[in-house]
Homo-oligomer: A and B are copies of this chain.
Amino acid sequence: MANDKTQGAKAVRRPRAETPKGFRDYFGAEVTARKAMLDKIAEVYHRYGFDPLETSAVETVEALGKFLPDVDRPNEGVFGWQDEDADWLALRYDLTAPLARVAAQYRNDLPSPYRRFAMGPVWRNEKPGPGRFRQFYQCDADTVGSASVAADAEICAMLSDALEAVGIERGDYVIKVNNRKVLNGVLELAAPLPSFPEGDNLRGTIEAVWDEFKRNGVLRTIDKFDKIGPAGVLELLTEGRLDQSGARIDGVGLGKPVAEEIIAFMTARGSDNRVTLANLRALIGKSEVGMEGIDELEQIINLLETQGYGPDRIVIDPSVVRGLGYYTGPVYEAELTFEILDEKGRKRSFGSVAGGGRYDDLVKRFTGQAVPATGVSIGVDRLLAALAAKGRLAGDTAGPVVVTVMDRDRMADYMGMVGELRSAGIRAEVYLGNPKNFGNQLKYADKRQSPIAIIQGGNEASSGVVILKDLILGAKIAQSATLEEWKDQPAQVEVPRGDLVAAVRKMLGE
């Protein structure tokens, strides 16, 4: 027989037991901590009248808008494949694209405005790096179909409440608000570039080029404000600058007065929101769109103050430029202000954990009609890291009480104990491995971070008692005490079998 089997066996290469590159697994407390955080955020969103929406992970590439007609495969950045009926499908890369599809698909059925929140994984087909994964969670809330700044103000208030709900204390965060329209006002006031020929018939073209130029040059440059500061941005907006290695980086080529006006906008934050608004008015009061933006900022601040969200939480900050290229109106960013140590041991402010703004073309791709929308996305992993840094991470890491097996034939007794504990709401389990080696059972309990091991051998059974071993106290004693002290085993008690649940409760400190 053995011979037969050997002959029959083929040399098969075994599959590798590996997560695909850039993906990871989440165990125990990692799952519960994230869930606890998202549950608290969902509660706030729900109270604000937002409804959950769960779309599937898979969308048509057409709906995602990532299809490039001149290449065979969909755009890089998404995981895509061709369906049997030739449709390209792909995993969603964010939660906004599916919302756009839903808002268009169900536009006759959804309430308008439509407040929705969504939480779930998204996928990016990008080069993975340390701490950068190809699947990660997003947590979004958006209001679709409202042009009112009250919708933007509401998102800011909700974001503030959500941060406090998960355990970021007031004073440890600030919601910074800015407005794309104010930047547009700055750019409008800037004179056309001298190298552009003037002429009525070329005006449209020039405007288009200038518009493109603004988008690509100015926005990309001011996005570096945090890194290189006002002086660096000024150089890059004009003639360029030398980087740290001495290499020349080309500038955008703006005139110095224009560039200075942009810098003045970005550094217009005053001692309080009223001062900031006055600074902005002085800078760009002559631009219609600029004034519109300033008025919107003022309305947002007023609406929030009425509800008690004062300048300790809501700050107009024109240096918030992240996403100004994407958004069309107010933008907002939640920044955590407490300090942490970076990888080099230097103190730095924790930074941004959420951002969003107004984008008014959400469903236009599908329907041709512009629908105003505003929303926020919380960086789930960043916020979890912040909570960990503050020691505020929720999630039950307590292991179960472990009932050990001294006598294999009395498994029913041990399961009876575990059943009683569970019925009393106590997390508990019986050891289900091979019970022969008792040391292995205690090692198992240790690995499970078990607070208590229950022991009942034959002697204990016939005396009608059980032994409770306090593993947390035991570990402490083992760390600190001498062998002599350890011998007394004070972390162990013997109680009548009938008192099991009460004794466990007592040892757990309940």
Question: Known interface pairs A17-B104, A20-B59. Does A81 touch B83 (Cβ–Cβ under 8 Å)?
Answer: no
Please measure, in the bound complex, the distance between the C-alpha atom of A426 and the C-alpha atom of B48, giving whole angstroms.
Answer: 9
Give 1 or 0 for each of A101-118: 1 = CB within 8 Å of chain B CB.
110111000011101000
Q: Are B306 and A17 in contact (CB under 8 A)?
A: no
A55 close to chain B: CB less than 8 A:
yes
Additional pairs, 7, CB under 8 Å, beyond known A19-B56, A47-B428, A58-B79:
A16-B63, A17-B102, A17-B366, A19-B55, A49-B399, A153-B415, A307-B419
What is the interface of chain A, defined by CB distance below 8 A to chain B?
1, 4-5, 8, 14-21, 23-28, 30-32, 35, 46-49, 51-60, 62-63, 65, 79-81, 83, 85, 87, 89, 91, 101-102, 104-106, 111-113, 115, 121, 123, 134-135, 143, 145-148, 150-151, 153-154, 157, 161, 204, 302-303, 306-308, 363, 365-368, 396, 399-400, 411-413, 415-416, 419, 422, 425-430, 432-434, 444, 447-448
In the complex formed, the residue of B with least CB distance to A433 is: B113
Least CB distance from A50 to B in Å reads: 8
Across-interface contacts of A416 in B (CB, < 8 A): 306-307
Which of B25, B65, B81, B112 is close to A53, meaning CB atoms less than 8 Å apart?
B25
Q: Given A143-B432, A427-B47, A111–B448 Cβ distance below 8 Å? A: yes
Answer whether A150 and B432 are a contact pair too, CB < 8 Å, given A15-B63, A19-B105, A52-B31: yes
Cross-chain contact B111 with A303 (CB below 8 angstroms)? no
Q: Give the copy number.
A: 2
Given A20-B89, A51-B27: A412 touches B15 (CB 8 Å cut-off): no
Given A14-B365, A20-B83, A28-B52, the answer on whether A415 and B307 have CB atoms closer than 8 Å is: yes
By beta carbon, the residue of chain B nearest A363 is B17
Residues of B within 8 A of A55 (CB): 19, 25-26
Task: Collect the chain B residues with CB atoms within 8 Å of residue A434's CB.
Answer: 147
* 11 A/B residue pairs, CB under 8 Å, sorted by A: A4-B204, A18-B101, A20-B56, A20-B58, A25-B102, A47-B425, A47-B427, A57-B91, A79-B81, A151-B432, A154-B432
- Least CB distance from A277 to B in Å reads 16
Indicate if the CB atoms of B412 and A135 lie closer than 8 Å. Answer: no
A28: contacting residue among B51, B112, B157, B308, CB under 8 A: B51
- Bound Cα distance A36, B290 (Å): 47
Q: With A1-B204, A46-B396, A60-B20 as given contacts, are A366 and B14 in contact (CB-CB < 8 Å)? A: yes
Pair B154/A63 contact, Cβ less than 8 Å = no
Distance A412 CA – B308 CA, assembled complex (angstroms): 11
**What residues of B have a CB within 8 angstroms of the CB of A26 in the complex?**
52-55
What's the nearest-Cβ distance from chain B to residue A370, in Å? 13
Is A53 within 8 A of B24, CB to CB?
A: no
Contact of A400 among B25, B49, B123, B425 (CB under 8 A): B49
**Within the complex, what minimum Cβ distance (angstroms) separates A393 from chain B?**
15
Task: Please state if B54 and A31 are interface contacts (CB–CB under 8 Å).
Answer: yes
Measured between beta carbons, the chain B residues less than 8 angstroms from A306 are 412-413, 415-416, 419
Residue of B nearest to A374 (CB): B432
How far apart sit A23 and B426, CA to CA, in the bound complex (Å)? Answer: 40
- Give the residue name and chain of the B residue nearest to A440 (CB): B112
A303 contact set on B, CB distance < 8 A: 411-412, 415
B105 touches A18 (CB 8 A): yes
Q: Which residues of B contact A115 (CB under 8 A)?
A: 429
Contact of A57 among B35, B57, B62, B63 (CB under 8 A): B57
Select which of B18, B53, B307, B432 is within 8 A of A63 by beta carbon: B18
Judge whether B57 and A135 touch: CB under 8 Å. Answer: yes
Whole-angstrom CA separation of A123 from B123 in the bound complex: 15
Contact partners of A415 in chain B: CB under 8 A: 150, 153-154, 303, 306-307
Which B residues touch A105, using CB under 8 A? Answer: 17-19
Question: In the complex the two chains form, what is the Cα distance from A51 to B399 in whole Å?
Answer: 9
| Bound complex: CA A363 to CA B14 (Å) | 11
Contacts known (A17-B366, A111-B447); A145 close to B58, Cβ less than 8 A: no
Q: Which residue in chain B gives the minimum CB-CB distance to A121?
A: B57
* Chain B residues whose CB sits within 8 angstroms of the CB of A111 once the complex forms: 444, 447-448
A56 to B19: give the CA distance in the assembly, Å: 8
Contacts of A19 in B (CB 8 A): 55-56, 59, 101, 105
Complex Cα–Cα for A28 and B1 (A): 61
Q: Closest approach, in angstroms, between the C-beta of A334 and any C-beta of chain B?
A: 18
Q: How far is the CB of A496 from chain B (nearest CB, A)?
A: 19
In the complex, residue of chain B having the shortest beta-carbon distance to the beta carbon of A426: B47
Q: Which residues of B contact A4 (CB under 8 A)?
A: 204
The 8 Å CB contact of A146, one of B106, B422, B432, is B432
> Nearest chain-B residue to A50 (Cβ)?
B429
Q: Would B15 and A366 count as touching, CB distance under 8 A? A: yes
What's the Cα separation between A399 and B50 when bound, in Å? 10
